[in-house]
């Protein structure tokens, strides 16, 4: 049975800087996730802090917010069967060193902080994150 969901994906500054946008998009498309919305933006540190506020108690929070706002990013709504989990599998583990072969983070991630992509971790967070970037 199909279970069509939407999730939020971000191509992070390290990947945009290395011209990996089209490669990464083509991986999602090959894996049957449609790119429903897509925009290249450069957010402020305050916006990054709002987006990542679930991590505000973590020791890496400040660096994380500085990083996400350090250069252009591409934010996308991906849609497809079990899109939230499917995107997480396509991305691979947070730390590229732990990520499985052929995942985006294994292929392109530089380090745990410069790990090339973000993906929502639940349906509820996907809704919040999509609304954060694509509210009308």
Do 61 and 50 form a contact (C-beta atoms < 8 A)? no
Q: Is 60 in the site for ligand ADP (CB under 6 A)?
A: yes
Part in contact with ligand ADP (CB under 6 A); list of ranges 19-27, 36-44, 70-78, 108-116: 108-116
The active-site residue, picked from 118, 120, 126, 133, is 118
Beta bridge mates, 90: none
- Taking the complex as a whole, how short is the minimal distance between the CB of residue 122 and Mg ion, in angstroms? 9
The encoded tokens of residue 41 equal 């933006």
- Measured between alpha carbons, how far is 34 from 81 in angstroms, rounded to an integer? 10
* 118 in catalytic set: yes
Nearer to Mg ion, 23 or 121 (CB): 121
**Residue 60 binds which entry of Mg ion, ligand ADP, none, CB below 5-8 Å type-dependent:** ligand ADP
Nearer to Mg ion, 10 or 74 (CB): 10
Who's near 76: CB < 8 A, 6+ residues apart?
8, 9, 10, 11, 25, 28, 35, 36, 37, 38
Q: Is 116 in the site for ligand ADP (CB under 6 A)?
A: no
Q: How far is CA 59 from CA 10, 48, 64, 65, 130, in A?
A: 22, 16, 10, 12, 26
Q: Is 121 in the site for ligand ADP (CB under 6 A)?
A: yes
Active site residues: 118
Residues forming contacts to ligand ADP in the complex (CB under 6 A) are 55, 60, 64, 94, 112-113, 115, 118, 121
């Amino acid at each position: 049975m199909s279970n069509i969901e939407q999730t939020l994906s971000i191509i992070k500054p390290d990947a945009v800087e290395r011209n990996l946008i089209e490669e990464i998009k083509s991986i999602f498309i090959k894996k049957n996730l449609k790119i429903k919305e897509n925009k290249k933006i450069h957010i402020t540190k305050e916006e990054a802090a709002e987006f990542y506020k679930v991590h505000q108690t973590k020791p890496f929070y400040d660096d994380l917010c500085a990083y996400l706002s350090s250069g252009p990013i591409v934010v996308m709504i991906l849609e497809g069967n079990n899109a939230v989990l499917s995107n997480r599998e396509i991305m691979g583990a947070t730390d590229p060193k732990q990520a499985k072969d052929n995942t985006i983070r294994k292929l392109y991630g530089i380090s745990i902080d410069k790990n090339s992509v973000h993906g929502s971790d639940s349906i509820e967070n996907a809704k919040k994150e999509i609304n954060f970037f694509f509210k009308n």
